[in-house]
Structure 1
Amino acid sequence: MNRNFALATILLTALLAPTTGLAADHPARLVGATEQSLGVPLSGVITEVHVAPGDRVKAGEELLRLEQSGLAAGVAATRARMEAAKLARDEARREQERAQTLFDRTELSEHDLQIAINEASAAEASYREAVAAHERARLDRAYSRLQAPVAGTVLAVEAHPGMAVSNRDRVRTLVRLRPADGGLAAVARVGDDHAGDLAEGATVPVTRAGSRAEGVIRRVETVGDGWRVRLALSGDAPEDWRPGQAVTLELPE
């Protein structure tokens, strides 16, 4: 009897069997990264902290920010320099065009034409440098606001208003976040007697030492004489759950 036929038979038996409401404890193990360490890639003083341990956040939600006035001034100053450099570049281009016209009419020497060309090239380089400086200032301001890269639960906040952040050698961790989906998973190996309970998308209770979380079956695959199932745990899994720990799946009898 092939495995597909066996699985179909088990599924039919599970559907026809009376519901007892009982659950069979099945051993599993936690895997995956339980947290992300988040920080800002520049130095400054923290002025606002918007989250606390246990808070659930959405992807893109602001967690904290550094002092903004200096960064905003930097953006404004570099924008002004960029606009001035653009005007100078445009004028240098017009001068080069006029010089070329005069040279073509033999009213300007080749030496003077080359001077105009060089000045236009220098003005173009200055403009590009000003654009790059403005982009750096704009990115610094954006990076001064720490945002959640994914939805999840805040595990720890290692920051407070007024705190100075120095990232001279490495980016300092300010917030630790557990992703809501995919951050922590449970993996178990089960026999054919539970194959009927392994539909992808099904919810299975996961317990450990009196704590409980919900797991959603993400993948089921055959392994030897049984099945391997992987469940993604919800974002409200207990904070002390870590990869490598043993847990229990409550599969229906």
Structure 2
Amino acid sequence: MKKTTKYVMGLGALVASAIVLVSADHIDAPSTAGTTSDIADFYAFEPSEGSDNTVFVVDVQSNVLPELAYGTFDEDVLTEINIDLDGDLVEDQVIQAIARDGRMYFFGPATPSQTGLNSQVLTDSPLGDVEISGATPIVESANGVSLFAGPRQDPFFFDFFQFNAVISPDMESAPGGFLPPEEAADTFDGANTLSIIVEIPNAMLGAPTATNALGLTVYKTWVTTNRKQ
């Protein structure tokens, strides 16, 4: 009860004003680049073969260096994991995350009050909250749910400058194309993203109905960020 009270009070302004948030896509609008409304990566996977859980990882605001104080999650941005359970490409369940005063608050999974570009924070479906910190391990919440929010190492090995040379119109600066792994440079080595991680039992989501290229049954899922208007 004490934790629930803190949860509601921390988002009291959201409840009172019935905030509507509008979605944005990765780098499509200049105002999102480099902010925590800028989606870098989204992953959904089983933590181990045959697991009854699914892990969702959302990476935002790339190029946060470990040598520097990492950026903070924007308190005006709602991150929303959308899950389609009937194949119509409309979200049937959502998991939401929004930051307040150094903590990330999670809501859902629940049926959204509206679908598409607009969202409202589902304050009547609290899932848990964690401190935003790179030093804090994933925190296990109630009902077998685990949560995390904070900086994590950028997962990609990507020779960015060689890539730009290869795609240049004349290709004169990269006549041999891409470099072999032993010669390529990991341009983003040492760079962080800000990550939001949820591991949750599938029983809380509903049965997956899609089939991937490997013939495995999976969820149809995508992520959006929504900024307060």
Does TM, normalized by the shorter one, top 0.5?
no
Give the TM-score, by structure 2 length.
0.29
Higher helix share: 1
